[in-house]
């Protein structure tokens, strides 16, 4: 077993508005595959952008990110925000939690939500030790009460 590791990245969906059936497919296969690989995490989709955090054994997480997810034609411009070793999982009971437009918009005003993806990734980048994700987790803890599972 390799050490626990996390990866946070951002990407753009290829279709401008990912329809729910596409998201359902992504989530379904992610949950299935992640359970087998003991990977946990959360996927957010908002206004054409994805932010995803993956956590698990380093071998598994790195492999699935760089060989599978990165090459998925349903998104492009995949940018790593943060990666690094972690002491414990933050999403241990989610093979892939999901927060989408509706869940986000119901919690924040429209103007706030428009900036959210950018702010989130900038802030994650500027927190060097806490592999980005601490902030991601903190901010979205408020929203995770309403994940679409």
Binding site for ligand FMN (CB under 6 A): 26, 29-30, 33-34, 43, 50, 52, 54, 64, 68-69, 72, 74-75, 96
Token digits of residue 130: 């806490």
Return the number of the residue (26 or 116) whose C-beta is nearest ligand FMN: 26
Decide: helix, strand or coil at residue 53: strand
Q: Which is nearer to ligand FMN, 72 or 118 (CB)?
A: 72
Torsion of CA 121, 148, 101, 137, to 10 degrees: -20
Q: Taking the complex as a whole, how short is the minimal distance between the CB of residue 19 and ligand FMN, in angstroms?
A: 13
Cβ at position 89, least distance to ligand FMN in Å: 14
Residue 146 beta carbon to ligand FMN: minimum distance, rounded to whole angstroms: 20
The enclosing H or E element of 110 equals: helix 110-125
> The tokens 């990407």 sit on which residue?
11
Residue 98 CA from chain centroid, whole number = 8
Q: For residues 105 and 46, give the distance between their C-alpha atoms in angstroms, rounded to a whole number.
A: 9
- Provide the token pair at 18: 């990912």
The residue (of 32 and 115) whose beta carbon lies closer to ligand FMN is: 32
Q: Between residues 32 and 112, which has the closer beta carbon with respect to ligand FMN?
A: 32
State the nearest-atom distance from the C-beta of 34 to ligand FMN, in Å: 5
Q: Which of 54/86 has CB closer to ligand FMN? A: 54
Residue 107 C-beta: closest distance to ligand FMN, Å: 21
Q: Which tokens in the block code for residue 144?
A: 């995770």
């Amino acid at each position: 077993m390799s050490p626990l590791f996390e990866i946070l990245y951002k990407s753009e969906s290829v279709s401008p508005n990912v329809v729910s059936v596409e998201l359902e497919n992504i989530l379904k296969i992610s949950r299935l595959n992640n359970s087998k690989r003991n990977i946990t995490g959360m996927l957010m989709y908002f206004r054409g952008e994805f932010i995803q955090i993956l956590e698990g054994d380093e071998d598994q997480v790195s492999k699935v990110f760089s060989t599978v997810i990165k090459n998925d034609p349903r998104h492009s411009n995949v940018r790593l925000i943060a990666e690094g070793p972690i002491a414990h999982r933050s999403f241990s009971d989610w093979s892939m939690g999901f927060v989408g437009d509706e869940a986000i918009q119901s919690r924040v005003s429209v103007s706030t939500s428009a900036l959210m993806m950018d702010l989130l990734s900038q802030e994650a980048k500027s927190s060097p030790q806490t592999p980005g994700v601490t902030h991601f987790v903190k901010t979205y803890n408020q929203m995770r009460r309403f994940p679409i599972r």
